[in-house]
């Protein structure tokens, strides 16, 4: 089980951390930001992320943008099946506020807790490697 934690879930957290940090803190890359500002204004498309999966640290964990990044990270980096990912996502999003984590920035700042929540939710949903 510790091998699964270090090889599967932590990369998912790292991707979310990079995505959240990539949009709120680096101003030097603003000249190359994609020119599609209308994408975040459409709440009817929660499964797609805008600006290449980068979200500001102030993004609520309950937002479709955070969920989309979490979804992509679970599937691409933690190799969770597409059928299991939504249940894990829902569990993570429901559990994080109880741990004092309400934004993407807090999720990143509290990686240890975030990883524990993801691992617990994965295990609850029958995912173990």
- Taken as a whole, the chain contains a residue count of 129
Count of C-beta atoms within a 10 Å radius of residue 6: 11
Q: How many domains are contained in the chain?
A: 1
Domain housing 61: 2-23+47-124
Cα Rg of the chain (Å, integer): 14
Q: What is the pLDDT of residues 46-57, one digit of tens each?
A: 333 333 457 999
Domain for residue 92, yes or no? yes
14 belongs to a structural domain? yes
Q: Is residue 15 part of a domain?
A: yes
**Percent with pLDDT over 70 in the chain:** 58
pTM above 0.85, yes or no: no
Q: What is the pLDDT of residue 41?
A: 41
């Amino acid at each position: 089980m510790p091998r699964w934690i270090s090889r599967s879930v932590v990369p998912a957290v790292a991707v979310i951390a990079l995505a959240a940090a990539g949009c709120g803190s680096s101003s030097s890359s603003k000249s190359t930001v994609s020119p599609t500002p209308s994408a975040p204004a459409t709440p009817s498309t929660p499964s797609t992320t805008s600006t290449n999966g980068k979200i500001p640290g102030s993004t609520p964990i309950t937002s479709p943008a955070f969920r989309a990044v979490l979804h992509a990270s679970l599937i691409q980096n933690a190799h969770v099946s597409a059928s299991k990912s939504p249940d894990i996502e829902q569990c993570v999003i429901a559990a994080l506020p109880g741990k004092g984590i309400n934004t993407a920035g807090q999720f990143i700042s509290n990686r240890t807790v975030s990883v524990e929540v993801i691992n617990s939710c994965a295990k609850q949903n029958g995912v173990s490697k």
